[in-house]
Amino acid sequence: MEISIFGLGYVGCVSLGCLANNGHRVVGVDVVDIKVDLINSGKPTIIEKDIDAIIEKSFNEGKINATKDFRKAVESTDVSIICVGTPSSAEGHLDLTYIFNTAAQIGEVLKNKKGFHTIAIRSTVMPGTNEKYGKIVEEISGKKRNEDFAVVSNPEFLREGTAVKDYYNPPVTVLGSDSEKGLDMMESLYKELNGPIEKVGIKVAEMIKYVNNSFHALKITFANEVGNICKKLNIDSHEVMRLFGMDKQLNISTYYFKPGFAYGGSCLPKDLKALQTLSHDYYLDTPVLNSIDKSNSFQKELALNLIESKNKKRILILGISFKPGTDDLRYSPIIDVIQSLSGKGYDVKIIDKNVHLSKLVGKNKSFIMEKLPHIAKLLTTDIQQALSWAEIIVFTNKEKEFSKLNIDDEKIIIDLAHIEEYMNHQKYNGLNW
């Protein structure tokens, strides 16, 4: 099948590579020159396990390319998959400008394009977006929805760090549309995936990602609060939550039930805020949802207070991205801690092998430059020198090499990630265990 993908960020890049790996011909569309250039040189736009090899292989086989020319991309393909960003506004609503820009662009091309065209919205959008998207395409193209084109809501469930594995092994593939032809087209596209395909109502498909991510955010903060209480009572919080997670009948999933640091990333904070804003718009009171971000912010304060309580000035942060195996800095919780420490006169150094300022683009780059404009002065690659220099060593995630360091007994360890290898260190401090 001939496919065009709008947006070459995390979801778009992984989708481009995996679809091509399954035998399809895929063209990526993006407004950022460096992303287009990377794909056209056989390189991914992101740091993600396995995607570099997939992109290189597919490029060498002539199955992928990228362009800024949306007209050429739509004219040469049967399916357009929308993976552009949907950032939060200051009030918590989603900014759907990029989404509706693609609707206008595709509508322009469909004016003169023959044949049926399927549009799949993979980006996370609020209920009602699919309907509005279709109206924009109709108005601009002069074509009729479900006769000349279809709009399918197809939310993604990819976790950064395991996105390729998640793509091929989804818990469920959700398809929502009022077009059977569009649904059949997308179902055939995903027939190689190892997981069920669910055809549901459009608004159900649009809503499920917010429910999923808000619940994931709830699980993390719930486990953190349990951990905080357990520490006060000198109880092993990880042992408590291990037992809690054994109940598969009621508790369902153990993935997020790990006491530790605050959650971050581009999805959980944004989608939780969007769901809160949605309930507010309908004058609904959602006290649990409204408490999640407050609890998450408290977890960052707890980490900051723990660091400050040691009365040392030289702080080494091991890991600044919001999780291991990625260069995504958006809403990484440790950034707020670093920002506070720097503002209070602490001397901070950061080591993260995945973060290279010269390779950061788009929202990822603008976010870190807004939060830590002086980050270039903080990053270092000499881990031995940094370990020797530091008085306090803060572990924020579980990069493999972080568990194998030789740390002197006089150094203070503050562990936000539950790295068991250091728990017998003379000056070890767990966040809430």
CB 407 within 8 A of CB 387: yes
The one catalytic residue in 13, 83, 230, 267 is: 267
End-to-end CA distance of the chain: 52
Query: Distance between alpha carbon 102 and the CA centroid of its chain, in Å?
Result: 21
Annotated active-site residue 13? The verdict is no
Closest CA to 137 of 102, 103, 164: 103
Closest CA to 390 of 423, 414, 416, 424: 414
Closest CA to 209 of 251, 277, 262, 158: 158
8-state DSSP, 42: T
What is the secondary structure of 165-189 as a DSSP string? HHHHS-S-EEEE-S-HHHHHHHHHH
Closest CA to 275 of 126, 97, 157: 126
Distance separating alpha carbons of residues 148 and 185, to the nearest angstrom: 14
- Going from the C-alpha of 237 to that of each of 74, 233, 370, the distances in angstroms are 53, 10, 36
Residue 341, CB-side half-sphere exposure with 13 Å CA sphere = 31
The set of catalytic residues is 267
